Amino acid sequence: MTNTNAPALHDDPTWAAKANSEEIVSLAALVGGPIVAAEAPALPGEPHEHSGLLERILTLLAVCLPPAALIAAIILLWGPGFGWTSFGLLIGGYMLTGMGITVGYHRYFTHKSFETNVVVKALLGILGSMSVQGSLLRWAATHRSHHQHSDRQDDPHSPHTHGDGFWNRVRGAWHSHMGWFIRPNRDTLMRYVPDLQQDKLTRVISNLFPLWVLLGLLIPAAIALAITGTWTGALLGFLWGGLVRIMMVHHITWSVNSVCHLWGNRPYKSHDHSRNNAIFGVLAFGEGWHNNHHAFPTSARHGLRWWQFDMSYMVIRCMGWLGLAREIRVPSHARRHAKTAG
Ligand SMILES: [Zn+2]
Ligand SMILES: [Zn+2]
């Protein structure tokens, strides 16, 4: 349940003292400017205990059902059960909802790395929601708290907070990958997103999270039904374009939290263990250049070198050329040079 009487994060004197001492990254540094705080009382539409419970049930189901569906799909339906329609729905759904997370939830809503119009904003929020990684507000709040406390005790998903030794490291890796996702959120989580809570469209999209989850499952089934004309085809569309697609996006996104804080190189100074990992640079649409991202959180471009493939940034650039994105932020050469690890 959200603690509505808590002061906005940057008004908290303890937090301010910590931020000044650089013990934690300031919230303003994560969005490239001051955050306008929401004052108590609670804003209309603010997530409450009931919607939080429904969201947690949905996300728990979303974790457990897709692997079972994948096994069922492979065992029962391999051969005639996996054709071009299933393949297209799986890859197309993965691209669209994955971009909803990387371009939408992450680079646009959480870090404000570019501006866009209201239609694209809604589309990005809805596509991100269809990935079933939690509502927009909850995702952004969790991610901002990850940046602020990165690899310290208050980080919601660090692999480095479970102690030394082999089994503690395994526990840390499990926690950072998906263990954190099925735990309840902290009461004060929403203090990280006062700016997003004040935006009506963002609030509405976030509160309608269960609807977007449902549509993300029904749309691929409906497309498959239209193409094949059979109910078996619709079931396969639901399995491959819905459940299996959700599992793919889940594990590749979560690998950024786990793998990219464990394995890879660290070309830039950052207050954490974030790393650049080329495999997830490609698979996670540029998010795997994670050390770059922790060093420059507001940058729309995560693959900062020409060879660091960053599909999300390519999409944002294309959106810019089409007039759908503006004020695209990238760090200057001077800032990059200043943060280069010696
Ligand atoms: Zn990180
Ligand atoms: Zn981030």
For the CA of 298, the nearest ligand: 2
**3-class SS shares of the chain: helix, strand, coil, % to 5:** 60, 5, 35
204: pLDDT confidence band, cut at 50, 70 and 90? very high
pLDDT in tens, 100-122: 999 999 999 999 999 999 999 99
Question: How far does the centroid of ligand 1 lie from the alpha carbon of residue 316, in Å?
Answer: 21
- Length of the chain (residues): 342
Question: How far does the centroid of ligand 2 lie from the alpha carbon of residue 244, in Å?
Answer: 25
Q: What is the pLDDT of residue 186?
A: 67
Question: How far does the centroid of ligand 2 lie from the alpha carbon of residue 221, in Å?
Answer: 32
User: How crowded is residue 109: how many other Cβ atoms within 10 Å of its Cβ?
Assistant: 27
Query: pLDDT exceeding 70 applies to what percent of the chain?
Result: 80
Q: What pTM was computed for the model?
A: 0.82
Distance separating alpha carbons of residues 112 and 326, to the nearest angstrom: 11
18: pLDDT confidence band, cut at 50, 70 and 90? very low
Quick one: average pLDDT of 266-295?
A: 93
Quick one: average pLDDT of 22-36?
A: 67
Does the structure show a pLDDT above 70 at 81? no
C-alpha distance from residue 20 to each of 6, 25, 30, 241, 283 (Å): 20, 9, 15, 47, 37
Distance separating alpha carbons of residues 183 and 199, to the nearest angstrom: 27
Question: How far does the centroid of ligand 1 lie from the alpha carbon of residue 159, in Å?
Answer: 10
Question: How far does the centroid of ligand 1 lie from the alpha carbon of residue 86, in Å?
Answer: 33
CB 136 within 8 A of CB 202: yes
C-alpha distance from residue 25 to each of 15, 78, 306 (Å): 10, 49, 28
Residues whose CB falls within 8 Å of the CB of residue 127, separated by 6 or more in sequence, listed in order: 96, 97, 99, 100, 104
Quick one: average pLDDT of 39-68?
A: 55
Question: How far does the centroid of ligand 2 lie from the alpha carbon of residue 150, in Å?
Answer: 10
Q: What is the pLDDT of residue 12?
A: 41
Average pLDDT, the chain: 82
Does the structure show a pLDDT above 90 at 126? yes
